[in-house]
Amino acid sequence: MRRALVLLLALSSLAAAGCRQGMFNQQKLKPLRPSALWDDGSSARPLPAGTVPRGFLRADRATFAGQGPDGKFVTEIPVKVTRELLLRGQERYNIFCSPCHGRTGDGLGMIVQRGFKRPSSFHVERLRSERIGYFFDVMTNGFVQMSPYSSQVSVEDRWAIAAYVRTLQLSRDVPVALLADHDVKELENAPAASTDPLGPGPAAPQGTPK
């Protein structure tokens, strides 16, 4: 028993020697603590100019800015357009865009019907001929009374919405020869479209990006 007790005390001494607090008690500055090392007295240092978080380089401007090497808006969607992408775009459009732009893109959303300024219809010639990158840019940075949506809608979803806007535009100008038989019958039996009570929508403001 005596030998066992001596051995236990020896092991305890070794264990205690290994529990040093040097790492814990070392000289360091905790976040937001003052520091006399820097002229501004702050221990928190600003990031060097041009620092980019890992995974956020955004070097592909076509995808992340909607612009080509020439600085102009791209004419082609830089992601693969699939049925799933269009369905996702429809869902996101109905949530974020339709309150102002309307489910069909005519600019007669519920907010507009209650007095908010009407956006231009997506079906005017100016927007039908606009480059697809333009729609991505407007969603990203906003335009006139429209706020930017980059913090609410991801890059992928913005392209999905842009693709769906093109689908809405195409829906009013599809050659009859491309329609299925049941669609042709529905078209023939459809009532005449009513006159838009608010007109075609406002003209483009001066300085519209091209």
At residue 14, does pLDDT exceed 80?
A: no
Residue 42 within any structural domain of the chain: no
Name the most confidently modeled range: 43-52, 65-74, 171-180: 65-74
pLDDT tens-digit profile of 62-77? 999 999 999 999 999 9
Residue 4 within any structural domain of the chain: no
Residue 43 within any structural domain of the chain: no
Which residue range forms the structural domain that includes residue 153? 61-172
Question: How many domains does one find in the chain?
Answer: 1
CB-based contacts of 43, cutoff 8 Å, min separation 6:
29, 30, 31, 32, 33, 34, 35, 37
CATH of the domain at 165: 1.10.760.10
Residue 195 within any structural domain of the chain: no
**pTM higher than 0.75:** no
Q: Which two tokens stand for residue 75?
A: 């004419």
For residue 209, the SS3 value is: coil
Residue 140 within any structural domain of the chain: yes
Q: Give the pLDDT of residue 16.
A: 62
| Average pLDDT for the chain | 85
Burial class (CB in 10 A: 0-12, 13-18, 19+), 11: exposed
Residue 88 within any structural domain of the chain: yes
pLDDT tens-digit profile of 145-157? 899 999 999 999 9
